[in-house]
Amino acid sequence: MNEKINITINGKAITADKGETILNIASANGIEIPNLCYLKHLSPYGACGMCVVEAKGSPKLLRACSAVAADGMEIETNSERAVKTRKAALELLMSDHDGDCKGPCTLNCPAHTDCQGYLAKIAENDMEGAVKIIKEKVPLPAAIGRVCPHPCETACRRTHVEEALSIAALKAFAADEVRKSGKSVLPEIKKNSGKSVGIIGGGPAGLSAAYYLAENGHKVTVYDKMPKMGGMLRYGIPEYRLPKAILDCEIEEIKSLGVDFRNNVMIGKDITLEEIRNSHDAVLIANGAWKSTAIRCKGEDLEGVFGGIDFLREVALGNKPEIGEKTAIVGGGNTAMDACRTAKRLGANEVSVIYRRTRNEMPAEDIEIEEATEEGVIFRFLTNPDEIIGENGKVKAVRLQVMELGEPDEKGRRSPVPVDGEFITLELDSIIIAAGQRNDSFGFEEMPVTKKGTIIADEKSFATSLDGVFAAGDCVNNGASIAIEAIAKANNAAKAINAYLNGVEVSFREPVLSEREVTKEMFEGKEKQSRVKMPTRPADERSKDFGEVNLGLTREEAINEAKRCLSCGCHDYGNCKLIKYADDYCVDCKKYAGENHPAFTETKLQVIERNQNKCILCSLCVRECEDTAKKGILGLVGRGFDTVIKPEFRDSEVIKDCVSCRKCVDACPTGSLRFIQK
Amino acid sequence: MCENCSKSDLTLLNDVLKEFASVRGSLITILQKAQEIYGYLPVDVIYYLAEKTGNTPAKVMGVATFYTQFRLTPVGKNLIMLCKGTACHVNGADAVEKAICDYLEIKDGETSADGLFSLKTVACLGCCSLSPVMMINEDTYGSLTPQKAVEILTEIKAREEA
Amino acid sequence: MRIVIGEGSCGIAAGALKVHSAIDAFANSDIQIGITGCIGMCFLEPIVDIYEENELKARLVKVKESDAQNIVNAVKENNLSLVDYLKISDEDNSFLTQQTRIALRNCGIADPENIESYKEKGGYEALKKVLTSMTPEEVIEEIKTSGLAGRGGAGFPTWFKWNAARQSDGDEKYLICNADEGDPGAFMDRAVIESDPHNLIEGMLIAAYAIGAKYAYVYVRAEYPLAIVRLGKAIEDATKENLLGENILGTSFSCTLRIKAGAGAFVCGEETALIESLEGKRGMPRLKPPFPAQKGYENKPSNINNVETFANVPWIILNSGKAFASMGTETSKGTKVFALTGKIRRGGLVEIPMGLTLRDVIFNIGGGIRNNKKFKAVQLGGPSGGCIPEALLDTVIDYKALSATGAIMGSGGMVVMDEDTCMVNMARFFLDFTTKESCGKCVHCRIGTKRLFEILTRITDGKGKEGDIELLEELCDSVKSGALCGLGQTAPNPVLTTIKYFRNEYEAHINEGRCPAGECAALRKYVIDETKCRGCTLCAKKCPVNAISGSVKQAHKIDTNKCIKCGLCKSNCKFDAIEVK
């Protein structure tokens, strides 16, 4: 029998073998002490400074990996000083850890869709796998792939080489392929929770929340005032961009999860909020922003003046608004583009876009502007409606104030200013004001709202002033944004609601991540491969009907495009101990930002790629190679901050002694080492 | 052999290896002797010593790059060791360093274009009372000023060129 | 009469060898010429002593080659008035007379290259006494009585370490002397080895006997070539006389002593890193425990002491631990050697009993600040220590009292600073040092010191940000508690003490863009005092960027936008008309 000692760790009395280290005793008793440079079969090293603990009576912190427990010791693993010291270690490590946990595409996507993940699946011709990954964040991939202004592509690092990947189109491609094959990718539904959730609004936010809440075993009912579900995707996006048959399929999939859809139900008219609250354990308000913003211009009340989203909704409902031969659209956003191209398709001869700035400032997507131009839309930049002139109560013309760009403001944005006395008059039969959208609080009178009229909800918990009532999407706080933003918020709200139903309070927090700062120079020498071009129907053909403009990619095109992905995100994100701790300790990665140590990536070990940028010099690989593999191929080179780990040192040679035992890769606590297939 | 491996006369190491190769813990001593022989530690010498002392090249390289005394590239004909100890710092070693760098058009750790001088700043030469101090080869020069340091270098240069 | 020339490193650097050969050239073979080590009065080197038998007749200072003939003649003619002009002044001599020398007792007196010279001063008597009349336990007891503590800086009781090593199991034990004196601004150990190597050897032999070590190593800094040569010769001579090797002095005690030269790494002053280096590895500290007394060199029980610690041992054995303990304070016994440098009038080696104040050392022995400048701070303990301000000059030299200030006793570096020294830049200087010397093993030291250095650099560059002082304090705190070894744990001390005592200087840099000492170039502004400028045009001619304009005999002006702050105008101005603001 070994001699025994008695100690306490975090107040817990423990009997342990004499001679054991504090770390081993704690671990055997279910108390985790963080560490980054320790492996049980190697001798303690003491580099990371993570395993420090406080022992009563000891002036210094002890490194638990090597300190042997003595009888009577009272140990505190999470004393204030130990936590502070650990946090500093992590902050220092992160200041010298040059890697991307996730690709910039994922980070820039409001819903943090794992673009790199599904692009890899597409590249492997595994479309179902791709859709599965997409649906972890976006339950409407075919629809969103078509309509999303894709912030992911804006952030794509390929822009440093040539052009961004066509990520959105690939997303739609994968979803289309799966749908065409007659398959559905659906989540496994968890056990029935016995709880029910009422969702007000069946748009992208409401549907996403329904999907994830249903997945978690809750009974979900969606209430929507319109005849069909889909919200703005159905009533705000024209058919030629998103064929509704495709949307129907995706909505049907959500329904198949057991979600109850109730259409033509308007809050405050057909049912009250109170009634919905009474019939559900939790309520999510996601009823969007459905009112067009007025521009406060004389003549706005004339017949023949339409709101942008009102106009699009009417068309979507199958009505034909009277816009006549000549029409104009006021605004420069995507709604304006949708409206002008729709007007063209309704048969208007002369369609103008009135925008008070220039093309450069237009918030609409480039491709939309280009396609509208191809279809014959006339752009009248630097003009602004001064008065809508009527005759017999009907629109006859618009008087436009000529504008010019003023001096740049603090943000460098140049505001338009009127040119004194310069006006143009444009003859018109109708005018469509696409200057924005706002909320309608009808039916929600009891809820406090912002100045904009949006419902006030907590940014992190999505809770409103009413218990059990949550709100997300366009109807909340800052108001309308893009669909993926509404989906992102709804996903997080769903998590919050799920937690609420399980009796815990969850406050949503973005995880701590490492992000690289890159420059164009870093991409010099990368082989250039141009971005795939989405084929479209000819302008004169497509502008006459509402058939889809885009013809879609071929499988080969899609696979090749997906292969362009630079895989910026770290392969090891899920297993990385460093980032796990950094997140646990909520560290500020930039707190001690400064010079980074010498950086390089090398593959001298043939099947092992070593990325020094991510190395934290724990030396586990060196010690594994020397002590376990008995090879001693890896070694520390240099001293102090500039120390690096290198296999020998002849930079141009492959190391033949390496037997690819992979012990180093397995030991690495970060993504610095990676097994590669050659 | 890789491109930066020179072909050194490895037989020069015979005596050193005979004396120390089998003595445990002598790696640093052996590297010191090797550097005395070659003026620096050529890559092929490091490989050879690894083989002869039963160490992996990574290990020898680790030692050779840990200690500031070891050089992996040849040095200039005259090695200037400029003291940057506390006393020298307080008495203006930074200004002296700047003057030397400007005069030779090099930075710390570099060798002048004509190969005559290498500059290396060192922690403390232990001649604090004469600070600021530099050693050029075996000779110590104390109570330096920027001007005085440049004069000394000019003199050596003139002598070398003569 | 005989002539003795001081040939320590400082003396040689000041020209002692040239003086020596000049004297040789004039002297006939009948004049005895000898050498000695360092007397410690570096500010007066080269020093030449004239002895009659063992009596010092004259101490000649700042001797030049051209004085050689006079010196030789004075000796030949027995007429010392010929060299009156070279004799040390009483004031300068007070530098020595105020000291109490134990560790340095033979330095500058004995001939370091001659074992007989050491023996004449009572050398190796202590070893004989120990080997013939004391048990190891009695030796340890005597050291315990003396209160001798580690002179390398930590101040750990020497007897305790010896005892721990003695008690450790194993018949193969090692004794190691740490002579890797790396603190910039410290050269006490070098002086001892160069000037009195046998004293070190004797001290080590006594320690080896006490702990039962058969093998001893001296780990010497590579930058001390002269020390290595002299110690090597001393080992050779001692071995010849059976003071080293098998069955020393006919007893059963055997001990060999080897020199290992370091290769340039400050961290090797840390005992576990030193052991790694001795083993031929990268000098990266090991985790403690196990302590070297249990598992040290080659995993065998080992004891490591610093040079000065050993240098006290023979004296203690001969004069008793009690005599040693009668000097000093309650908690710190005996004497301590300091290397007094910086902006001090009389710089050099100073050995004083513990308990004197800093003011005693700096002003009485060192003569105060050079060039009538104002004292600002004294830095103790090198990169591990701290800066002590004028208000604390009456602090007594004692391990405890000095630690209370935030500085440490350290190994003995004592660098004096005047009003022209910027304390932020001083902290930056030390962090630059520790950053370069960090072995790179542990996170807190490897990256922490680097980040401290970067923050300090941005402050001295005039780019400091609000909150930087607090950020420094926070990071210092974490590095202290998280670093693996003493180097990292103490690296923040210079920053913390300068913030503690000179916070206003930090604030001036950050908030006002001003360096109060005028040292930080980025914040310096050169201005010509029109009342002093005579319009000689010299500054304008010297200015490398043509930033100075003005007509002859008219006051000149500096264009601050063009000025690169090189300071050439100021150093060339004959009228002291250029001010730094």
Residue A505 has pLDDT above 80, yes or no: no
Same-domain status, A309 and A400: yes
Same-domain status, A11 and A79: yes
Q: Which of B71, B86, B152 to mutate to test the interface with C (most CBs of C within 10 A)?
A: B86
Tens-place pLDDT, residues B86-130: 888 888 898 899 999 999 999 998 899 999 999 998 877 767 778
Same-domain status, A284 and A354: no
Tens-place pLDDT, residues A623-664: 999 999 999 999 999 999 999 998 865 555 677 788 889 999
**Residue contact C263–B70, C-beta within 8 A:** yes
Contact A240, A341 (CB under 8 A): yes
Same-domain status, A313 and A376: yes
CA distance A273 to A279: 10
> Is B61 within the bounds of a domain?
yes
Tens-place pLDDT, residues C435-456: 999 999 999 999 999 999 999 9
> Is B72 within the bounds of a domain?
no
Q: Which residue has the tokens 């942008």?
A: A308
Nearest CA-CA distance, residue A643 and chain C, Å = 6
Please tell me if residue C184 touches chain B, with a CB cutoff of 8 Å: yes
Same-domain status, A425 and A447: no
Q: Which residue has the tokens 């339409």?
A: A306
Same-domain status, B114 and B85: yes
The three-state secondary structure class of A420 is strand
* A619: chain C residues, CB-CB within 8 Å: 441
CA distance A523 to C370: 58
In the DSSP assignment, the letter for residue C407 is -
Closest CA to C302 of C409, C215, C417, C235: C215
Find the residue in B nearest to A650 (Cα).
B2
**Residue contact A641–C479, C-beta within 8 A:** no
Closest CA to C444 of A568, A90, A198, A113: A90
Q: Within 10 A of C330 (CB to CB), how many other CB atoms are there? A: 10
Nearest to A44 among C287, C441, C447 (CB): C287
**Partner residues linked to C219 by β-bridges:** C178, C260
**Residue contact C186–B127, C-beta within 8 A:** no
Nearest to C266 among B123, B131, B145 (CB): B123
Please tell me if residue C298 touches chain B, with a CB cutoff of 8 Å: yes
The three-state secondary structure class of A416 is strand
Nearest CA-CA distance, residue B66 and chain C, Å = 6
CA distance A669 to A663: 12
Same-domain status, A215 and A306: no
Q: Which tokens go with A54? A: 């406080």
Find the residue in C nearest to B134 (Cα).
C13
pLDDT of amino acid B4:
46
> Is A526 within the bounds of a domain?
no
Same-domain status, B132 and B61: no
Please tell me if residue A630 touches chain B, with a CB cutoff of 8 Å: no
Residue A1 has pLDDT above 60, yes or no: no
- Could you tell me the CATH number of the domain that includes residue A388? 3.50.50.60
- Could you tell me the CATH number of the domain that includes residue A70? 3.10.20.740
Burial of residue A505, with CB atoms counted within 10 A of its CB: 0-12 exposed, 13-18 middle, 19 or more buried: exposed
Find the residue in C nearest to A592 (Cα).
C451
CA B139 to chain centroid, in Å, comes to 14
* B68: chain C residues, CB-CB within 8 Å: 263-265
- Cis peptide bond prior to C112, omega within 30° of 0: no
B interface residues, C as partner, C-beta within 8 Å:
24-29, 31-32, 62-63, 66-70, 84-91, 95, 122-131, 133, 140-142, 145-146
Same-domain status, A303 and A363: yes
* Alpha carbon distances (Å) from C22 to A273, A668, C64, C69, C409: 109, 66, 9, 8, 42
Same-domain status, B89 and B116: yes
* pLDDT category of residue B3 using cuts at 50, 70 and 90: very low
Same-domain status, A225 and A348: no
CA distance A285 to A464: 10
> Is A148 within the bounds of a domain?
no
Same-domain status, B62 and B92: no
Q: Enumerate neighbours of A (3 or more CB pairs within 8 A).
A: B, C
* C184: chain B residues, CB-CB within 8 Å: 84-89, 123-124
**Residue contact C440–A642, C-beta within 8 A:** yes
Stretch among A133-147, A544-558, C16-30, C450-464 having the lowest mean pLDDT? C16-30
* Alpha carbon distances (Å) from A198 to A504, A574, B55, C499: 19, 34, 71, 60
pLDDT of amino acid C525:
84
CA distance B152 to C5: 26
Contact A48, A55 (CB under 8 A): no
The ipTM is 0.91
CA distance C237 to C260: 18
Same-domain status, A364 and A475: no
CA distance C243 to C225: 24
Domain count, chain B: 2
CA distance C545 to C567: 12
Find the residue in A nearest to B47 (Cα).
A648
Residue A481 has pLDDT above 60, yes or no: yes
Q: Enumerate neighbours of C (3 or more CB pairs within 8 A).
A: A, B
Find the residue in C nearest to B98 (Cα).
C566
Please tell me if residue C382 touches chain B, with a CB cutoff of 8 Å: yes
* B128: chain C residues, CB-CB within 8 Å: 42, 185-187, 339, 341-342, 347, 415
Nearest to A93 among C437, C438, C443 (CB): C443
**Partner residues linked to A645 by β-bridges:** A636
Nearest to C446 among A46, A595, A641 (CB): A641
Find the residue in A nearest to B58 (Cα).
A648
Same-domain status, B62 and B116: no
**Residue contact A647–B58, C-beta within 8 A:** yes
**Residue contact A89–C444, C-beta within 8 A:** yes
Q: Enumerate neighbours of B (3 or more CB pairs within 8 A).
A: A, C
Nearest CA-CA distance, residue A641 and chain C, Å = 5
* Domain of B49, in residue numbers: 10-66
**Residue contact A637–B59, C-beta within 8 A:** no
Nearest to B61 among A635, A639, A653 (CB): A635
Q: Which residue has the tokens 């796998």?
A: A129
* Domain of A267, in residue numbers: 196-290+438-501
Closest CA to B67 of C176, C284, A597: C284
Same-domain status, B114 and B151: yes
> Is B53 within the bounds of a domain?
yes
> Is A11 within the bounds of a domain?
yes
Which of the listed residues A385, A407, A436 is the one where a domain comes to its end?
A: A436
Same-domain status, A298 and A391: yes
B interface residues, A as partner, C-beta within 8 Å:
2-3, 5, 43, 55-59, 61-62, 65-66
- Could you tell me the CATH number of the domain that includes residue B34? 1.10.10.1590
Contact C393, C366 (CB under 8 A): no
> Is A121 within the bounds of a domain?
no
Nearest CA-CA distance, residue A573 and chain C, Å = 21
Contact C245, C263 (CB under 8 A): no
Closest CA to C46 of C36, C55, C31: C36
Tens-place pLDDT, residues A160-176: 999 999 999 999 999 99
C interface residues, A as partner, C-beta within 8 Å:
265, 282, 286-287, 289, 435-444, 446-451, 454, 471, 474-475, 477-479, 481-484, 489
> Is A39 within the bounds of a domain?
yes
A interface residues, C as partner, C-beta within 8 Å:
44-49, 52, 60-61, 63, 65-68, 81, 84-89, 92-93, 95-96, 591-592, 594-595, 616-617, 619, 636, 638-643
The domains of chain C, with CATH numbers, are 2-97 (3.40.30.10), 115-325 (3.40.50.11540), 335-418 (3.10.20.600), 423-512 (1.20.1440.230), 525-580 (3.30.70.20)
Closest CA to C496 of C393, C423, C398: C423
- Could you tell me the CATH number of the domain that includes residue A671? 3.30.70.20
**Residue contact C443–A48, C-beta within 8 A:** yes
Please tell me if residue A206 touches chain B, with a CB cutoff of 8 Å: no
What number is the average pLDDT over the span A380-406?
Answer: 95
pLDDT tens string, chain C, 581 residues long: the values are 899 999 998 898 888 999 999 999 999 878 999 999 999 998 999 999 999 988 999 999 999 999 999 999 999 999 999 999 999 999 999 999 999 999 999 999 999 999 999 999 999 999 999 999 999 999 999 999 999 999 988 889 999 999 999 999 988 999 999 999 888 888 899 999 999 999 999 999 999 999 999 999 999 998 888 999 999 999 999 999 999 999 999 999 999 999 999 999 999 999 999 999 999 999 999 998 889 999 999 999 999 999 999 999 999 999 999 999 999 999 999 999 999 999 999 999 999 999 999 999 999 999 999 999 999 999 999 999 999 999 999 999 999 999 999 999 999 999 999 999 999 999 999 999 999 999 999 999 999 999 999 999 999 999 999 999 999 999 999 999 999 999 999 999 999 999 999 999 999 999 999 999 988 988 988 889 999 999 999 999 888 888 999 999 999 999 988 888 878 888 889 999 998 87
Nearest to B128 among C45, C264, C339 (CB): C339
**Residue contact B67–C263, C-beta within 8 A:** yes
**Residue contact B62–A636, C-beta within 8 A:** yes
Closest CA to C335 of C326, C322, C348, C343: C326
Q: Within 10 A of A440 (CB to CB), how many other CB atoms are there? A: 14
Same-domain status, A201 and A308: no
Same-domain status, B146 and B89: yes
- Could you tell me the CATH number of the domain that includes residue B136? 3.40.30.10
> Is B4 within the bounds of a domain?
no
What residue ranges in A264-303 does DSSP mark as E strands? 282-285, 291-292
> Is B2 within the bounds of a domain?
no
Same-domain status, A402 and A356: yes
**Residue contact C263–B142, C-beta within 8 A:** no
Domain count, chain A: 4
Contact A351, A344 (CB under 8 A): yes
Nearest CA-CA distance, residue B108 and chain A, Å = 16
> Is B16 within the bounds of a domain?
yes
* B3: chain A residues, CB-CB within 8 Å: 652
Contact C215, C256 (CB under 8 A): yes
